[in-house]
Amino acid sequence: MPDTANPDSIDLDELIDEFDTAPARLTIDLGALADNWREMARSSGSARTAAVVKADAYGLGLEDCGTVLYKAGARDFFVAVVQEGVTLRTYAPDARIYVLSGVWPGQEALFYEHGLVPVLASEEQLAFWMSVTAEHGDHPCALQIDTGFNRLGLGLDEAIAFADDVSRPASFSPVLVLSHLQSGDTPNSPANEQQLQAFRRVAEAFEGIECSLSASAGIFLGPDYHFDLTRPGIAVYGGEAVNGVPNPMKPVATAEARIIQIRDAKQGETVSYGGTHRLTRDSRLAIVSAGYADGYMRALSGSGVPLRQTQGEGAFGFIAGHKVPVVGRITMDLTIFDVTDVPQNAIAAGDYIELFGHNIPLDDVARAGGTIGYELLTSLGLRYERRYIYPDD
């Protein structure tokens, strides 16, 4: 025990739990993450199930999330850029790691050294990679095919012609052919069936090579869309994958912000920049230490932003069993919640308001800001103190 009578003997690190005193904090339930991945694997039927960990595992931490997903059984991973693949290799030693942005001159050594698989999406990348393998030896790659998204990928006719090209080098070894659904989150969209039929043509052309079409939403479309490998992303992190249906996934991330001050304000007074919210009753306001610099975006404001002209309510927080609305404009470091309806003795300065988590679903908050859960998660700032709850905790 420290000698509190002698200030010079006190080790402040022993007295302060940074998570318990942080202005903003993020709890990441890695047990829920693993359970969500297992649920997506079960829903994928006979297809093998990868884990998409791009964008720092959707903002939740590549090292910790990658480690837990690997322990849960994932042996195929998708990252966006080569640096993410290099980092992940430490935590997934024998996994196959696909790099969705492909490969560019100067990066090829990293792919060989760390056993990464480039996802080639253009004639230029194909030509470059074939020259690399001709010089340095066989190394696996994947092919991205555009089946109606008009994003990355070889065109359908290009891909089929390439499949039939007997002149391509023997050292060129695609291990996966993949495409991506543009409307998988809308089950009744005719685009899904159109892309499925186009991808079936690709799969036939590349007979003997594994195929992958579905991310999270596509998995829920059923077995026809599963092929050999599925690629769940947002569902693993607890977000909604399909529009208009209840979300079956467990929440993974809980964001909270600390109340700095609770203040009384009179009916008729205004709140925050521009005075865009005028109080209609005597109110109690909780000012919390998170704002748009923490990814709690300005569009979530209760008033004073263009979105409120077409969508009535802003975001809500949760404290002491009550949903509490954001009032006025969210600022860089601060957000104001109306806590008038929360019993006065139930909360105090220093308590935390949940921004999203078990009580305020991630995607409900995102909708209040006119966006999606993907953006909210990947926009989380650096100021959150993080606590990871591992499956065996």
Domains of the chain: 44-237 (3.20.20.10), 253-389 (2.40.37.10)
The pLDDT-based confidence of 15 (bands split at 50, 70, 90) is: low
Q: Is the pLDDT of residue 392 over 90?
A: no
* pLDDT tens profile 201-256: 999 999 999 999 999 999 999 999 999 999 999 999 999 999 999 999 999 999 99
Q: Is the pLDDT of residue 306 over 70?
A: yes
Higher local confidence (pLDDT), 4 or 297: 297
- Tokens 């560019």 belong to which residue? 104
pLDDT above 90: percentage of residues in the chain: 90
Neighbours of 11 (CB within 10 A): 8
Token pair for 99: 């790099």
The pLDDT-based confidence of 269 (bands split at 50, 70, 90) is: very high
How many Å apart are CA 300 and CA 284, to the nearest integer? 20
Cα 56 off chain centre by = 8
* pLDDT tens profile 27-39: 999 999 999 999 9
Mean pLDDT, all residues of the chain? 94
Task: Please give the pLDDT value at position 2.
Answer: 47
Q: Is the pLDDT of residue 180 over 90?
A: yes
Rounded mean pLDDT of 116-128? 96
Q: Is the pLDDT of residue 385 over 60?
A: yes
How many Å apart are CA 103 and CA 171, to the nearest integer? 17
Task: Please give the pLDDT value at position 11.
Answer: 63
Cα 351 off chain centre by = 27
How many Å apart are CA 39 and CA 235, to the nearest integer? 9
Q: Is the pLDDT of residue 7 over 80?
A: no
Binding-site residues from annotation: 151, 332
Q: Is the pLDDT of residue 268 over 90?
A: yes
Binding-site residues from annotation for substrate: 151, 332
The C-alpha angle with vertex 82 and arms to 165 and 41, in degrees rounded to 5, equals 80
Q: Which residues are catalytic?
A: 54, 273
How many Å apart are CA 316 and CA 334, to the nearest integer? 14
Token pair for 122: 């253009």
Token pair for 164: 């039939």
**One-letter amino acid identity for 301?**
S
Q: Is the pLDDT of residue 393 over 80?
A: no
> Could you tell me the CA-to-CA distances from 373 to 237, 239, 368, 378 in Å, in that order?
10, 6, 11, 9
> Could you tell me the CA-to-CA distances from 300 to 101, 149, 319, 326 in Å, in that order?
32, 30, 18, 8
Q: Is the pLDDT of residue 106 over 50?
A: yes
The pLDDT-based confidence of 12 (bands split at 50, 70, 90) is: low
The pLDDT-based confidence of 281 (bands split at 50, 70, 90) is: very high
Q: Is the pLDDT of residue 278 over 50?
A: yes
* pLDDT tens profile 41-70: 999 999 999 999 999 999 999 999 999 999
φ, ψ at 270 (rounded to 5°): -110, 165
Rounded mean pLDDT of 375-387? 96
Rounded mean pLDDT of 257-263? 98
**Helix 30-43 × helix 62-72 angle, to 10°:** 50
Q: Is the pLDDT of residue 169 over 90?
A: no
How many Å apart are CA 375 and CA 59, to the nearest integer? 9
